[in-house]
């Protein structure tokens, strides 16, 4: 998300885990969280497990005002569906293995596909409701 991205709404970064980084994984995820703050992101939605938590904690510590940590793509899509407003700009990025394209597919009404490009059997669960937290609460 460029600093020059013009938007009347919020800058939202949906960030998943980067796979196969080895010993540098923790620091790499922390760096991404910090960079989100440096680029003026208003909300980070971190998707995944321990590495997503490192990313979220770092983003909050660096100044991103709102952080959400969710376990999976379905929960992220359900959360964003309730949250997005006209004018918001959303960046979705992770390793291919995280299949975060499924979030974009769900948000745009496209069929959800797996890593092989074939339709994925599960869809967004409307019962999922992660909490939006102020980064000072982390």
Provide mean pLDDT across the span 7-34. Answer: 90
Task: Give the relative orientation of helices 50-62 and 25-38 as an angle to the nearest 10 degrees.
Answer: 40
Which tokens hold the place of 65?
A: 């005002």
pLDDT digits (tens, 9 = 90+) for 100-119: 888 888 888 887 877 777 77
Yes or no: say if 98 and 16 are a contact pair by the CB < 8 Å rule: yes
Per residue in 53-86, is it b (16+ CB within 10 Å) or e — as a string? bbbbbbbbbbebebbbbbebbbbbbbbbeebeee
| Tens digit of each residue's pLDDT (9 = 90 or more) over 32-77 | 999 999 999 999 999 999 999 999 999 999 999 999 999 999 999 9
Mean pLDDT score, 19-42: 93
Report whether pLDDT(7) > 90.
no
Q: Which of 25, 27, 51, 38 is nearest to 13 (CA)?
A: 38
**What pLDDT shows up at residue 125?**
39
The pLDDT assigned to 48 comes to 94
Query: Would you say residue 138 has pLDDT above 50?
Result: no
For helices 73-83 and 101-108, what crossing angle results, to 10°?
40
The pLDDT assigned to 49 comes to 93
Answer yes or no: are the C-beta atoms of 16 and 104 closer than 8 Å.
no
pLDDT band of 132, cuts 50, 70, 90: very low
């Amino acid at each position: 998300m460029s600093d020059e991205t013009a938007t009347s709404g919020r800058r939202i970064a949906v960030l998943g885990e980067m796979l196969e980084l080895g010993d540098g994984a923790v620091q790499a995820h922390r760096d991404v969280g910090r960079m989100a703050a440096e680029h003026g992101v208003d909300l980070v939605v971190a998707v995944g497990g321990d590495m997503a938590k490192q990313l979220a904690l770092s983003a909050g510590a660096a100044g991103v005002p709102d952080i959400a940590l969710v376990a999976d793509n379905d929960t992220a899509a359900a959360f964003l569906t309730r949250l997005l407003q006209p004018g918001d700009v959303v960046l979705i990025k992770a390793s291919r293995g995280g299949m975060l394209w499924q979030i974009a597919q769900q948000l745009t009404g496209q069929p959800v596909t797996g890593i092989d490009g074939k339709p994925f059997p599960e869809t967004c669960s409307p019962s999922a409701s992660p909490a939006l937290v102020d980064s000072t609460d982390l």
